[in-house]
Amino acid sequence: MLFRSAGKVVVATDGVTFPVYMDNQSTTRVDPRVVQAMLPCWTENYGNAGSLHHALGEAAKNAIEESRAKIARSIGARAEEVIFTSGATESNNLAIRGVSLHPRNRRRHLVSALTEHHATLTPLRRLQQSGFDLTLLSVLPAGHAEAGRVELQQAEEAITDQTGLVSLMLANNEIGVIQPVAQIAHLAHQQGALVHCDATQAVGKMNLNVQDLGVDLMSFTAHKMYGPKGVGALYIRGGRPTVKLLPQIEGGGQEGGFRSGTLNVPGVVGFAEALTISLEELTAEQSRLRQLRGQLWEGLRRDMPELTLNGPDFERDEMRLPGNLNCSFPGFDGQTLQLNMPQLAISSGAACSSSQPEPSHVLRALGIDEDAIRSSLRFGLGRFNTSAEVEFACQHISEAMKRIQSML
């Protein structure tokens, strides 16, 4: 089968589509079923959800609210507790800055972890520059069975009665480690602090419920779960004590005044469909991805037995995303390997921060040395990957390593 992509002919044969895409922690291909759900929003129900004085506007509004209810149910929330944004970065900023800068907030201490995404660390450090105190928790080091996890004792010691917000991601985008968010949320609430969770990598990939997590705010986005780019959400716990947020985008007062701007109706509809599909297929997909990851790991080690795993052990299934593999190739540079593998799309760092060439801050937080960090590659396996693609990737990497060695 032939099809065109970015002006190039891409050949799909024997279960392999070129280039082989294994960067699903960065973004995912939109599922065709999601595209079909979105199409009417462009061609039929294309009204503005804020224009309630005519039928097209009402149809758009109804599509938004039906999607909001679906997404809320999927995470164990009420519809009125979910607002839509442009993505997880905006959701993180609204949660972190919105809580901290609210006029009624008197607490000036923030707690997070060294391994957070830049969409969390950057607003936190900006607040630190303006006078807030910031504590970044360390994580268990490389070589530990739970490498990358925050220790509860350290979190308990860091959170005080002056802590206003604890922000911790549920699943890491680079090493796939799953953090003990529920336990840390309990510790934070004992001190009267609010808890924000960046669940961007987790929603749609693992079972979660905001009630079980005990979080007050949670960010997530569609494009990590085979939905469209440009749409995300923020869960804001209802009830008391009230979560007070200072809006970061003002205008027409959409989304309860928390986030002004015309709603992305096709994106929201696609978001809901993507999450629905992901949860319906979750158990089978988790098992399939673990099998593919095991095949990939063993295939890579055939030619490089000294390959090192970054992050928690695979045996700790409850502590690592099933589709994530991050490993270091001793003696090689990760970016050089990438350049020698044009038919394989993977990442040598956090793709969202690819404009910053510094070595991975996540791997550095694990105590991994600079050479090993620079030799690391991240594989993000996903819904459309096949066993044949995994075998091709192993062969392609082996050939690239031999080619590089021959030039030395």
Which residues are identified as catalytic? 352
Nearest partner of 305 among 340, 330, 334, 280, judged by Cα: 330
Q: Residue 398 has what DSSP assignment? A: H
Amino acid at site 81: E
Amino acid at site 13: T
Q: Kindly report the backbone phi and psi dihedral angles of residue 107, in degrees, each rounded to the nearest multiple of 5, phi listed first.
A: -95, 130
Distance CA 379, CA 191 (A): 39
Q: Can you state the angle between helices 265-280 and 55-75, rounded to 10 degrees?
A: 30
- Cβ-based neighbour number of residue 90 at 10 Å: 20
Cβ-based neighbours of 407, under 8 Å, separated by 6 or more: none
- Is the preceding omega at residue 19 within 30 degrees of 0, hence cis? yes
Which tokens sit at 219? 């960010």
- Cβ-based neighbour number of residue 272 at 10 Å: 27
